[in-house]
């Protein structure tokens, strides 16, 4: 929120750059923490769907940002274009207050009773909640293995390799290039957009 408000009210290029860096760091943190939180809260049978839905919503957000930017580009009001980013941030800040802590995080801090209470809210039965809490405890013990676990466990190496491969493949799709050149692409397609140079 500070980055978008700072961008909208920037009095100089330097202030605008600092505000954009703050905004970029905030987006980076959210891009890491949101799917992590979802994966820790979702049950095993819907976890993949939940993370896929998260990515779909990110893509939808990009489309909405382009539409919003297009609407503002006709008036030339770049301050409003950058300031409107504060609206989703305010909504997120308000709603995140009502979210429970992650059961994994609670267990990691030794707050096992609270972790079980959160799991009971999220799972069908108390038995499933207890079983999942036991799995979380076991995984936290394995976490202490760190690099040694990576070296000796083939499944861990495979999962890390696949994760890295997916990230690389995502970059190879050229999405960032398409996003950067989207105004020119739209203009070449015959859409009359302002500021598409």
Number of domains in the chain: 3
* pLDDT given at position 128: 86
Tokens 């987006």 locate to: 27
131 and 183 in a single domain? The answer is: no
124 and 93 in a single domain? The answer is: no
109 and 170 in a single domain? The answer is: no
**Residue 37: pLDDT band with limits 50, 70, 90:** very high
93 and 133 in a single domain? The answer is: no
81 and 120 in a single domain? The answer is: no
Q: Which residues contact 93 (CB under 8 A, 6 or more apart)?
A: 1
Mean pLDDT, residues 163-172 taken together: 85
- Closest by CA to 115, choosing from 96, 140, 97, 92, is 140
d(Cα 28, Cα 187) in Å, to the nearest integer? Answer: 30
d(Cα 107, Cα 116) in Å, to the nearest integer? Answer: 9
Q: Which domain holds residue 114?
A: 102-144
114 and 161 in a single domain? The answer is: no
Judge contact between 53 and 133, C-beta under 8 A: no
5 and 92 in a single domain? The answer is: yes
* pLDDT given at position 75: 79
d(Cα 41, Cα 100) in Å, to the nearest integer? Answer: 9
171 and 182 in a single domain? The answer is: yes
Look at residue 197 and give its three-state secondary structure: coil
User: Can you give the pTM of this predicted structure?
Assistant: 0.69
* pLDDT given at position 144: 65
Of 99, 123, 157, the residue that ends a domain is: 99
131 and 169 in a single domain? The answer is: no
pLDDT in tens, 111-151: 989 999 999 998 888 888 888 888 888 888 776 666 666 67
Tokens 């190879």 locate to: 172
């Amino acid at each position: 929120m500070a980055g978008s408000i700072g961008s909208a009210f920037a009095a100089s290029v330097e202030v605008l750059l600092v505000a954009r860096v703050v905004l970029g760091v905030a987006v980076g943190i959210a891009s890491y923490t949101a799917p992590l939180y979802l994966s820790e809260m979702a049950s095993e049978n819907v976890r993949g769907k939940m993370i896929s839905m998260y990515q779909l919503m990110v893509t939808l957000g990009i489309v909405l940002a382009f539409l919003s930017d297009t609407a503002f580009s006709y008036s030339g009001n770049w301050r409003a274009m950058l300031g409107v980013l504060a609206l989703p941030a305010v909504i997120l800040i308000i709603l995140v207050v009502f979210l429970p802590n992650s059961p994994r995080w609670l267990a990691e801090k030794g707050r096992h009773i609270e972790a079980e209470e959160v799991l009971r809210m999220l799972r069908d039965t108390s038995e499933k909640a207890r079983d999942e809490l036991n799995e979380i405890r076991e995984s936290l013990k394995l976490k202490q293995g760190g690099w040694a676990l990576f070296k000796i466990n083939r499944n861990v190496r495979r999962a890390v390799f696949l994760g890295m491969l997916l990230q690389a493949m995502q970059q190879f799709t050229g999405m960032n290039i398409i996003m950067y050149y989207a105004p020119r692409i739209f203009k070449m397609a015959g859409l009359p957009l302002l500021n598409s140079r």
